[in-house]
A and B are shown apart, each in its own frame.
Chain A
Amino acid sequence: MNAQARPAPARTPFWIAVGLVAGREMKVKMSSKAFVVTTAIMLGLLLAAVLVGPRLADWLGGTAGADVAVTAETAQAVGALGDSYDLRTVGSTDAAREAVRAGEVEAAVVPDEAGPAGLAVVGLDSAPTDLVQALSTTPAVELLDPNAAAPGLQYLIAFGFGIVFFTIAITYGQQIAVSVIEEKQSRVVEILLAAIPAKAMMAGKVIGNSAMALFQVALVAGVLLLGMQINETVLPLDGLGAPILWFVLLFAIGFVMIASLYAAAASLVSRQEDIGSTSLPVMMLIMLPYFAVIFFNDDPQALRIMSFIPFCAPVAVPLRVFLGQGETWEHVAALGVLVLSTGLAIWFAATIYERSILRTGKAMTWSQALRSRAV
C-alpha cells in the first residue's frame, strides 16, 4: 500500500455519513438492554390492559350467569333475555321469594298483575339493576345532529393527541440529548468531526432517533390493534381516521423539529447534569400545545390560531379536522408553516451545534453560542 499509488482521498458524501450515524444510533438503541426490556414490558402491559380491561367488569361481580328464580308465567319473558341468566323455575311466587331470601338465587321474577309490564323483580337487599334494565322497554330516541361530537369526547381526543405528542417528544428528545452529551463527554466527538461535518452528525442523530421513536409508536399501535383483534372488538374509529392520519404526518415533522432543538440544547453543555438548564426552553415549547389544547379545545378561534403555531399544530390541526372546523386549505397551510419552521429549526440547531460541540467546560448559553463564531 503505497500512499502515492492510492486514489485521491474523498470525504464521505454527506448523506452517506448521515446514514452511517443514524444507523449507529439505531443499532445502539436496539442492542441496549434497557431499551429492549422497557419496550417489552411496556408492550406486555399494554396488551394485558387491552385484553383484560373489557373483561374486568365481567369478572368483578358481573351478573353473567346469575341464577334467577321464575314462575311458569314469567319463564318465557326472562328466557327471552338469552344465556345471561340461569333460570330456576319454581312453583309459586312465594317459593320464588323464599329462594331469594335463602340466597339460592340472586333475584326472582314473579307475575305482577298491577304493574304495567305484568312482572315484578324481587331482590334481597338491592335492586338487581341489570335485570331490571333488561326487562324494561325504552322509548325510541331521535337525534337531530347525530354527527356532532360529544363535548366529553372532544376533550378526550384533544387530550389524547396532546399527551401522545408530549410524552413521545419529551422521552425521545431527552434520549437524543443524552447521546449528544455522551459523545461530547467521552471526547469521541473530535475524531468524528475530523471525518464528517458537524451538520451530518447532527442530522444522523436526529434521523436515527426519530426513526426509533416512530418505530416504537408503530409497535404500540400494532399491539393495540392486535389486542383488539384478539378481543374481536372494532376500533372506535368513527370519524377519527382522517384526524389520526393528519396527526401522524404532523407529528413526524414536528418531532424532527423538537429533536433538532434537543440536540442543539445538549451540545451546549459538557456534563449530563447541566442539560436541565439549556433544555428548559425546548421543554416549554413542548408543553405549550399540551396545555393549550386542554384549555382551548372548545374555542374554534383559538384552535385556528394554534394550528398555525408550529409547536401546537400537530395537536391543533387533527382536532380541527375531527371537529370539522376550517377548510382543507387551512390545514395544508398549517402543514406548510410547520414544514417551513422545521426547516428553520434544523438550520438554527445545526448552527448552534456546530459552534458549541467542541467547547468543553462550563455550559454555554444559547445566546453565547449564537454570538460566537464557528470554531
Chain B
Amino acid sequence: MISVRDLTKSYGDHQVLHGLTFDIKPGVMTGFVGGNGAGKTTTMRILLGVLSPDSGEVLVDGSPITADHRAGIGYMPEERGLYPKMTVIDQLVYLARLHGSSAEAARARATDLLERLDLGPRATDKLEELSLGNQQRAQVAAALVHEPIALVLDEPFSGLDPHAVDTTLQVLRETADNGVPVLFSSHQLDVVERLCDELVILADGRVVANGTRQELLERHAETEWELAADTDAGWVRCAPGVRVTSLDGGWVRFHAESGDAANAVLREASSRGTVRAFGLVHHSLHDIFTEVTR
C-alpha cells in the first residue's frame, strides 16, 4: 500500500498542497479527482520523486518510499511526451531498459502490450506518424512496459475515443487485478465513476472526500426521493416528515425522515391519480463532487 501523509508544497508564495493524506491500496483502482489547480499533478510528481515536498512523506507499507521502489512505478505524466522520431517499439524497449528490464524481456513485454492496446501493426512506425489517439495509447504502453509495481497515471483517458478508453481500461483493470495499486486522475467524472473502486477528491490542495463510491454517497448525499405523477404535486409540501427540495408540476423531489414517510407520500399520490415514477434518486459522482468542492 502506498500512503501519502501530510504533504505540503508551495511554489513561491503560492501554497499548492495543504497537508494531503490518503492511501492507494493494492489491487484497487483509485480515482483522483479535483478541479484545475487542485494539486493532482503536483501530488503525482511528488509520488514519483520528480518533485520533492516541502514537508510530509510518502510511505510504502509503512516505511518511507525508496528510489528503488519509485523506479518500479509506471508513470504517465500530465505533459505527454515520447521521442517523436523514434519508433514506438524502440522507445518502449528503451524505457523498459531504463527501468531495469533486460533487452529481451523488454522487447517481449512491449510487443505483447502493443498487441493488447491494438497498436501491434504500428510498432515500427515513428511516434510522430501516429494519430493523436494512437500516440496516447503508446503513452499508456510506456507506463506499463516495465511491469510496474504501482501505476500513477495523470489523465490517462483524455484524448481517447470511447473504444480506446475501453481497451486502455481493460489493460489497467488487468494490472490492478494482479495486486498493483493504481492511482489515476481524471476530469471525466463519468469515466471515474465507472472505473474506480476508491475515490480521492481534492479541492485547493486538500482532500475533501475519500473512500469508496458507496461510502461517499452515504456520507455526502442525503437520501432523496423522486415522484412523478399526472396531477400537481404541490400537496407533498404539507406531507408529514417530508421536506421538498424541488418541485415542478407533477414532479417532486424530497427528503423523507424514514422509508415509511416516503411510502405514505406514494400512497397519497396513487390515491390522487396515476403515479408514473417513484423511487430513490441516484446520485452521481458529479453531484458529490459539486457538493464537496463547493
Contact = CB atoms under 8 A, between A and B. Distances in A.
Indicate, yes or no, whether A interacts with B: yes
Interface of A: 1-4, 6, 8-12, 17, 20-21, 24, 28, 182-183, 186-196, 358, 360, 374-375
Contacts, number: 93
B49 A194 contact: yes
Interface string B36-71: 000000000100111110000000000000011111
Q: How large is the interface on B (under 10, 10 to 19, 20 to 34, 35 or more residues)?
A: 35 or more
Contacts of B45: 190
A350 B147 CA distance: 30
Contacts of B147: 1, 6
Contact of B71 (A12, A24, A190): A12
B81 A188 contact: yes
B77 A191 contact: yes
Contacts of A375: 50-52
A359 B107 CA distance: 32
Contact of B100 (A3, A10, A193): A10
A179 to B, nearest CB: 10
A8 B70 CA distance: 11
Contact of B79 (A20, A24, A190): A190
B68 A194 contact: no
B178 A191 contact: no
A191 B73 CA distance: 11
B99 interface: yes
B179 interface: yes
B71 A195 contact: yes
Nearest to A10: B68
Contacts of A360: 79
B240 interface: no
A284 B110 CA distance: 45
A9 B68 contact: yes
Interface stretch (B90-98, B212-220, B245-253, B267-275): B90-98
B72 interface: yes
A9 B98 contact: no
Contacts of A12: 71, 97-100
Contacts of A193: 50
Contacts of B266: none
A34 to B, nearest CB: 11
A2 B81 CA distance: 29
B95 A195 contact: yes
B245 to A, nearest CB: 46
